[in-house]
Amino acid sequence: MLAAETGWFLEHAYLIPVVPAVAFALIIFFGKRMPMKGSEIGVASMVTSLVLAAGTAYQWIERVDFFSPAGDNASALGGFGRAFRLNAEGATFVQPVINKIVWWQSGGMEFGLGQHIDGLAVMALLLVALISTLVQIYSLEYLRGDRRYTHFFAALTLFSAGMLAMVLAENMVQLILGWEIMGLCSFMLIGHWWEDAANSRSALKAFFTVRVGDIGLLVGTGVVFFAASAYATRHGSNGFSIQSINEWALSGTGSHTVLLWGSVALFIAAIGKSAQFPLHTWLPDAMAGPTPVSSLLHSSTMVVAGVFLVARLYPLFHTGLDINVAGQHFNLIAVIGGITIIIAAALAFVQNDIKKVLAYSTVSQLGYMMMGLGVGAWTPAMFHLFTHAFFKCCLFLCAGSVSHSGSHHSFDMKKDMGGLARKMPITTTCWILSTAALCGVPYFSGFFSKDEIIDNARNNNYQVFFVVGLVGAFMTTAYMTRATYLIFFGKARGAAAGGHAETLATADAHDSHARVPAMANAASDSHDAHDAHDAHAGPHESPVLITGPLVVLASLAVVAGYINAPVWPFHTERFAEWVANSSGVAFPILDHAQFEWVNAVPSIMLVLGGFVVSLFVCRSIYGEARSPLRGITTRVAPLRWVHTFLVNKYYLDALYENVIVRGLVGPIANGAYWVNQNVLDRIVNQAGIGARKTGGWVYRNIDQRVVDGAVNGSGAVTRGSGTALRPVQSGKVNQYGALLFGAAAIGALVLVIVNT
Amino acid sequence: MLINQFLLLGAVLFCIGVYGVIARKNAVMVLMSIELILNAVNLNLLAFAMNMNGEGSADGHVFALYVLAIAAAEVGVGLGLVLLIYRNKRSISLDELSEMKG
């Protein structure tokens, strides 16, 4: 092994999730006794993970560069065939670093725990560790004085551990393990303020909706396991191994039907986890959790897990769904992704809650990633996942910063915000930079990732999705412009204008502690005292623990794109090299579009158009001047219908809860009640009566007569015989001697008689 | 027949011994009667040893010697018991030792 080929960090990448998992236990057991209530353990563990992940990334890049066909050692490739292989088509790949231990054995099957470190895993590890670290630092200030501070950090740490474990999973069992840990932690974190019934309801909704998809994960894993098992066993592995599944999918030995249904089942899991249509309804409700949770959930962990699953098993989906087969214009992944882009973006227009705008934006951007995967744009999709994490995390943290220091814990853009740009310059700058990145303004990171997805859709002959992507870009710019205008510009309203507790108590705030009128409870705990302080000072910039992560993330949102910027004057494609070219031994050959300015022009025009149109409309509707557009959604009937339709979220929640859930639950409940009353109760009652009758008969006949008779009889017999034999025990030795000799004499007599 | 006289003597001694065991109230007398019984049996053993297995066989003699040895031990233990009973009760009358009657 050469130094450049592998390294300590690469071989020990499994430590990255282990550290926060151990930290979770430490926080739970010792957190409350620590000086900072356990938060220091959480932050320290995430920093450790980040250092380990950075080391892993560094050594991975060394490994790739060392063997890169373009690198200096290209000529030495032949000598290091072990680390560098050609696949069937002759393309080159860097061997992933796979280490595993046997977790448990059952019937000759070995279930392993281990690491599968390739470009994709390294990218995700670094991303998750970085975002988690920043979010935890941010939470130090944001949740200061919270009543479950310690538990919050414990759950947050375990959440990151779950995602990290899933990302580097070597086999499907481990992947499911990490996946479920995340599901559990998202439930705990979304319902962090469970005293408010709405919050615990949201947590349950998130949990159950994702659960619907999780069935797909179990079914898909099972299908793939049995299908791939024979192939994998021949190659010294088993059907759970991710590498074996990918190799099997590409080997062409599997039946196409099995591949199809396996990938469909797994895709259903991705739909649930990544909040794709039609299971996207849980994500906006997940805003009930504290803002750092939303931020972490939406940028790099929970919701990208579904996208990551598809990317991880991409050969399976690629073969199973015939992606990029000549003449194909639609496939399941692209269609779901495309629908999600449009419907989520449309919903973002009618939200008043700043976090819900961002939530729908996330859903829409996840749609882009899915669509990218669907049209064969694997690298741009993963690159979008990478850049999206930075700017979406930054946007959420900005929203938290605004509510923390600017709008008095309210998230309502229309009631409590406006004109904050002058009061909160750092937050505003970070927000605008991230928004530019999200919208895909040229030379911001979103431009290099999102536009590449759109470009690739055209390049790979998916014309419909090319159009969908462009429309989505237009809508993204428009709703983000609306949100930016409402929050930071225009006239200050409500709490942002220094409003009082009365407006706040009725505000649609999600942080439940904000619902308590601040002045009334000013002395009850430190956080409310802080509220009172806010009320005096009015909107102001947030403290450095909040702005610090914001600045870091905003900088990354600006510059992250440049590791894969094929435009003048950069011409870098390092991301594609490090991540895509090295994602496992087995990988389908994908044709990625070459960047040309001509192809980017429509998208840039649409972004600009979206900005201008939206700004004009916002100024008319929300501005001070009288305008014919003001109140248009209530005056014009078709627009009113659309508005109502959107406000009610396409009635999907109503469909799920009233039609599907109630339709299933009602008859089942009634049937169960009938069975309970008429069958079970009758059986139980009859059994009771029968038992009582039997008991009485047994008592009278068996117990009283037979048993008691036997007991009394034996007592009487014993007593009688005792009385009869009593005189024998005279205590006189002579008498005993006489008896002894008498008996001996009788015995002798008998002996004589018998013998003669 | 020589053996008849031996056996007869043995039977007589045995009967005297049994009578002594049953009838005597004195513990020492009872022990002595037991000695009589044992010796009656010894007499029988020796008589049969001389008569039945022919000369040269020492089985019966050895048996008798064992009985003598054990009888000596038995008398030692028995007299010890009697001595202790006497110390406790100042009497060796068996009629007074009936605490174990049922």
Is B25 in contact with A737 (Cβ distance < 8 A)? no
CATH code of residue B66: 1.10.287.3510
Q: Find the distance separating the first CA and the last CA of chain B, reported in whole Å.
A: 49
pLDDT of residue B73: 93
| A554 and A427 part of one domain | yes
Task: Please list, in sequence order, all residues whose beta carbon lies within 8 angstroms of the beta carbon of residue A136, skipping any fewer than 6 positions away.
Answer: A39, A42, A43, A46, A153, A156, A157, A292
A498's torsion region: left (phi>0), alpha (psi -120 to 50) or beta?
Answer: left
Range of lowest pLDDT (A222-231, A304-313, A410-419, A705-714)? A410-419
8 Å CB contact between A333 and A199 = no
Q: Which residue has the tokens 């064969």?
A: A376
Cβ separation A733–B100 shorter than 8 A = no
What's A682's DSSP letter? H
Cα angle, residue A171 at apex, residues A169 and A177 outer, rounded to 5°: 65
Nearest chain B residue to A723 by CA distance is: B102
pLDDT in tens, A147-166: 788 888 888 899 999 999 99
Enumerate the β-bridge partners of residue A86.
Answer: A92
Residue B23 falls within a domain, yes or no? yes
Task: Give a yes or no: residue A606 inside a domain.
Answer: yes
Residues 6+ apart with CB under 8 A from A160: A20, A46, A49, A128, A129, A132, A296, A301
pLDDT given for residue A629 in this prediction: 63
DSSP assignment string, A455-509:
HHHHHTT-HHHHHHHHHHHHHHHHHHHHHHHHHHSS---GGGGT--HHHHHHS--
Give B41→chain A minimum CA distance, Å.
14
Helical (H) or strand (E) element with A25: helix A15-30
- Select the more confidently predicted residue: A38 or A470: A470
Tell me the chain B residues in contact with residue A731 when contact means C-beta distances shorter than 8 Å: 97-102
Query: With 70 as the cut, is the pLDDT of residue A54 above it?
Result: yes
- The CA distance from A349 to A744, in Å, is 118
- pLDDT exceeds cutoff 90 at B102: no
Side chain identity, residue A674: W
Distance CA A657, CA A651 (A): 10
Confirm whether A37 is domain-assigned: no
Where does the pLDDT of residue A2 fall: very low under 50, low under 70, confident under 90, or very high at 90 and above?
Answer: very low
Residue range A88-97: mean pLDDT, rounded: 60
Nearest to A507 by CA among A416, A392, A394, A605: A416
Test the A interface: residue of B30, B98, B99 with most A CBs within 10 Å: B98
CB contact under 8 A, A731 and B98: yes
CB contact under 8 A, B102 and A728: yes
Determine how many CB atoms are found less than 10 A away from the CB of residue A210. 30
Which segment of A358-372, A518-532, A633-647, B43-57 scores lowest on mean pLDDT?
A518-532
Residue A32, both tokens:
């409350």
Q: Which residues of B touch A737 (CB under 8 A)?
A: 18, 21-22, 30
- What's residue A401's pLDDT? 85
For A321-348, the pLDDT digits (tens) are 877 777 777 888 888 888 888 888 888 8
Q: Which of B14, B24, B33, B101 should one mutate to test binding to chain A, selecting the residue with the greatest count of A CBs within 10 A?
A: B101
Q: Is residue B97 part of a domain?
A: no
What count of CB pairs under 8 Å joins A to B?
37
For residue A260, the model assigns a pLDDT of: 87
* Contact of B32 with B12, CB cutoff 8 Å: no
Return mean pLDDT, chain A. Answer: 78
- Count up the domains in chain B and report the number: 1
Measured between beta carbons, the chain B residues lying within 8 angstroms of A732 are 94-95, 98, 101
Q: Which H or E element spans position A26? A: helix A15-30
Chain B residue nearest residue A733, CA to CA:
B94
* A477 and A559 assigned to the same domain: yes
**Main-chain dihedrals φ then ψ at residue A254, nearest 5 degrees:** -80, 150
B26 phi and psi angles, rounded to 5 deg: -85, 125
User: Residue A510 pLDDT more than 60?
Assistant: no
A685-717 burial, b at 16+ Cβ within 10 Å, e below that, comes to: eeeeeeeeeeeeeeeeeeeeeeeeeeeeeeeee
Report the sign of the C-alpha dihedral through residues A352, A354, A359, A360, in that order: positive
Please report the sign of the dihedral spanned by the C-alpha atoms of residue A366, residue A370, residue A373, residue A377.
negative
Label residue A747 by pLDDT band (50, 70, 90): very high
- Asked whether the beta carbons of B13 and A733 are under 8 A apart, the reply is no
Same domain, A489 and A557: yes
CB atoms within 10 A of CB B66: 12
* Confidence grade of residue B39 (pLDDT, cut at 50, 70, 90): very high
- Based on the fold, state whether residues A450 and A589 are members of the same structural domain: yes
* Residue in B closest to A730 by C-alpha: B101
The residue of chain B nearest to residue A724, with distances taken between CA atoms, is B102
Distance from CA of B99 to the nearest CA of A (A): 6
- On whether residue A699 sits in a domain, the answer given is yes
Q: DSSP secondary structure string, A595-649?
A: P-HHHHHHHHHHHHHHHHHHHHHHHHHHSSS--TTTTHHHHSHHHHHHHHHHHTG
More confident residue, A713 or A247: A713
Measure the CA–CA gap between A269 and A285, rounded to whole angstroms.
Answer: 19
Is the peptide bond prior to A290 cis by the omega test (within 30 degrees of 0)? no
Query: In chain B, which residues have their Cβ closer than 8 Å to the Cβ of A741?
Result: 18, 21-22
Return the pLDDT at A495. 64
Q: Which of A728, A734, A738 sits opposite B94 (nearest CB)?
A: A734
Q: What is the per-residue DSSP string for A7-21? A: -HHHHTTTHHHHHHH
What predicted TM-score, i.e. pTM, was given to this entire model? 0.70
- Is A509 a member of any domain? no
Do A679 and A625 fall into the same domain?
no
Would you say residue A521 has pLDDT above 90? no
Instruction: Give A-chain residues touching B101 at CB under 8 angstroms.
Output: 729-732
Residues 6 or more apart whose CB falls under 8 angstroms from that of A476 comprise: A345, A361, A364, A365, A438, A439, A440, A610
Facing residue for B97 by CB, picked from A728, A729, A733: A733
Can you tell me whether residue A235 is helix, strand or coil?
coil
Side-chain half-sphere exposure of A67, counting CA atoms within 13 A: 28
The model's confidence at residue A727, banded by pLDDT at 50, 70 and 90, is confident
Portion of chain A with pLDDT greater than 70, in percent: 82
Whether residue B26 contacts residue B91, with contact meaning beta carbons closer than 8 Å, is answered with no
Lowest mean pLDDT among A85-99, A103-117, A505-519, A574-588: A505-519
- What range does the domain containing A727 cover? 653-747
pLDDT of residue A714: 92
A657 and A617, same structural domain? no
In a domain, B99, yes or no: no
How many domains would you assign to chain A?
2
Is the Cβ pair A734, B24 closer than 8 Å?
Answer: yes
pLDDT for res A509:
40
User: How far is residue A500 CA from its own chain's centroid?
Assistant: 37
Per-residue model confidence as pLDDT tens digits over A351-393: 888 888 888 888 888 898 888 888 888 888 888 888 888 888 8
**Whether residue A456 sits in one domain with residue A409:** yes
**Residue A168 included in any domain:** no
pLDDT tens, position by position, A235-262: 777 888 888 888 888 777 778 888 888 8
Task: Give the nearest partner residue to B99 out of A726, A731, A734, using CB atoms.
Answer: A731
Q: Which positions in chain A touch B98 (Cβ < 8 Å)?
A: 730-732
Residue A632: pLDDT band by 50, 70, 90 thresholds?
Answer: low
Mean pLDDT, range A693-697, rounded to an integer: 91
Residue A353, in any domain of the structure: yes
Q: Where are the beta strands (DSSP E) in A248-311?
A: none
Residue A614, CA distances (Å) to A19, A55, A157, A487, A622 in order: 46, 44, 40, 14, 11
Q: What integer pLDDT is reported at residue A480 of this predicted model?
A: 87
Helix (H, G, I), strand (E, B) or coil at A6: coil
Q: Do A732 and B101 touch (CB under 8 A)?
A: yes
User: Are residues A464 and A585 located together in one domain of the fold?
Assistant: yes
- B31 found inside a domain: yes
Claim to verify: residue A673 and residue A735 sit in the same structural domain: yes
Does A485 share its domain with A588?
yes
Domain boundary among A634, A667, A682: A634
In a domain, B43, yes or no: yes
Quote the tokens at residue A523: 């002395």
10 Å Cβ neighbour count for A97? Answer: 25
Q: Which amino acid does the sequence have at A151?
A: H
Residues A611 and A670 placed together within one structural domain of the fold: no
**In which residue are the tokens 């994908």 written?**
A590
* Within-domain flag for B100: no
Same domain? For A685 and A743 the reply is: yes
Can you give the pLDDT at residue A318? Answer: 83
Please give the residue of chain A at the shortest CA–CA distance from B95. Answer: A732
Tokens of A18: 């282990």
